[in-house]
Amino acid sequence: METVLSGIRSTGNLHLGNYLGALKNYVKMQHENRCFFFIADYHSLTTHPDPTQLHPNVHGVLAEYLAAGIDPETATIYIQSDVPQVAELYLLLNMHAFVGELERTASFKEKIRKHPDNVNAGLLTYPVLMAADILLHRATKVPVGKDQEQHLEMTRRFARRFNNIYGVEYFPESMPYNFGAELVKIPGLDGSGKMGKSEGNGIYLADEDAAIRKKVMKAVTDSGPTEPDSPMTECVRNIFTILEAVSTPDTVDYFREQYATCRIRYGDLKKQLAEDIIRVVAPIRERIKDIYNDSAYLSKVVREGGEKARESASETVAEVREIMGIRPF
């Protein structure tokens, strides 16, 4: 059994791409592994130090993960700042992280470029805190997107370095969790690229039905096929990719056939797509609302999740202290 750790950004709402591309897989794999899901609120302070927004953001993301099917009885779901052990491990790992390598990190260079007025030490050591998150539970598998691969690579480097310096085989090599064939990349509705928050082309799990219909009806298409079996342009292919993820095979076949024989009416295709997206999103959206407002349930979830996470974390920190020579009298 693998120990899987998944870190969740506390900024922004989940969109359909997050759900179909990742979350749906998490919901399945939580039963086969020792899973930790945590909301990285400390990390968000490196770029969003806004005390009025932090808690509402965490609240929203937590409700969305629970509504999407992460089960707190099965997996451990917790808030990063509820586990102070991560701050100690971060401090200890910082002793073996070199400023030069941190300065060369792609995400750091990008942040400097975008926010030259706020190049803080938290930003520089962001990968060390992320390594601490992962190594805190000695996670062997971490589901990450492309943009986080370098951070995971650095985690492995820090782990190896620690093991070498102290002559131990303590930290594992944390590998990317790969969903293989099940991995679906959900494109946006604007003709090119993937669905993303920054792209502003997303359908959100919290969207109302009317908003979903409106967004889908505005999806970019072309002027239609003029010859039988002509290849699809990217924007139309994207619509079919989403359709395949939310509709029945019969529906997909029907519209493919319509396209191949040049009879397709994109208006009908979009109407169908909107209804099938709603079938996926609406129940999650309603659960989000219920859970969001159930503060007794939420506080129980984070209290129990925090306890389980601290138990695992304090074991690691005690062992790391011992290895590094911090010992009791």
Q: Which span sits near ligand TRP by CB under 6 A: 1-9, 175-183, 220-228, 276-284?
A: 1-9
Among 7, 21, 188, 305, binds ligand TRP (CB under 6 A): 7
Q: Quick one: 23 or 130, whose CB is closer to ligand TRP?
A: 130
Element (H, E) at 8: strand 3-9
- Nearest-CA neighbor of 11 among 53, 72, 65? 53
Based on the residue annotation, tell me whether 218 is a catalytic residue of this protein.
Answer: no
Which entry of 111, 141, 215, 270 is annotated as an active-site residue? 111
Among 89, 142, 212, 219, binds ligand TRP (CB under 6 A): 142
Q: Quick one: 68 or 273, whose CB is closer to ligand TRP?
A: 68
Rounded to a whole number of angstroms, the minimum distance from the CB of residue 126 to ligand TRP is 7
Q: Which residues contact 16 (CB under 8 A, 6 or more apart)?
A: 186, 195, 202, 203, 204, 205, 242, 277, 280, 281
Among 2, 9, 217, 321, binds ligand TRP (CB under 6 A): 9
DSSP classification of residue 113 = H
Among 120, 148, 221, 233, binds ligand TRP (CB under 6 A): 148
Q: How far apart are CA 297 and CA 71, in angstroms?
A: 13
The yes or no reply on residue 144 touching ligand TRP (CB under 6 A) is yes
Based on the residue annotation, tell me whether 109 is a catalytic residue of this protein.
Answer: no
Q: Which residues contact 287 (CB under 8 A, 6 or more apart)?
A: 66, 67
Which entry of 24, 28, 114, 197 is annotated as an active-site residue? 197
Among 4, 5, 22, 274, binds ligand TRP (CB under 6 A): 5
Q: Which span sits near ligand TRP by CB under 6 A: 85-93, 126-134, 231-239, 290-298?
A: 126-134
Q: Which span sits near ligand TRP by CB under 6 A: 3-11, 94-102, 251-259, 318-326?
A: 3-11
Q: How far apart are CA 324 and CA 114, in angstroms?
A: 38
Binding mask 35-54 for ligand TRP (x = CB under 6 A): -----x--x-----------
Q: Which of residues 250-279 bind ligand TRP (CB under 6 A)?
A: none
Using DSSP's 3-state secondary structure scheme, residue 15 falls into strand
Q: How far apart are CA 304 and CA 188, in angstroms?
A: 37
Element (H, E) at 322: helix 295-324
Q: Quick one: 145 or 267, whose CB is closer to ligand TRP?
A: 145
The yes or no reply on residue 62 touching ligand TRP (CB under 6 A) is no
Q: How many residues bind ligand TRP (CB under 6 A)?
A: 11
Q: Which span sits near ligand TRP by CB under 6 A: 89-97, 141-149, 232-240, 315-323?
A: 141-149
Tokens at 221, concatenated:
């298409």
Element (H, E) at 227: none
Among 133, 135, 215, 281, binds ligand TRP (CB under 6 A): 133
Based on the residue annotation, tell me whether 111 is a catalytic residue of this protein.
Answer: yes
Q: How many residues does the chain have?
A: 329
Give me the DSSP letters along 122-184. HHHTHHHHHHHHHHHTT-SEE---GGGHHHHHHHHHHHHHHHHHHT---S--PEEP--GGG--
Give me the DSSP letters along 293-318. H-HHHHHHHHHHHHHHHHHHHHHHHH
Among 58, 63, 66, 130, binds ligand TRP (CB under 6 A): 130
Q: Which span sits near ligand TRP by CB under 6 A: 14-22, 142-150, 271-279, 314-322?
A: 142-150
Q: Which residues does the annotation mark as catalytic?
A: 111, 194, 197
> Which residues bind to ligand TRP, rule: CB under 6 A?
5, 7, 9, 40, 43, 130, 133-134, 142, 144, 148
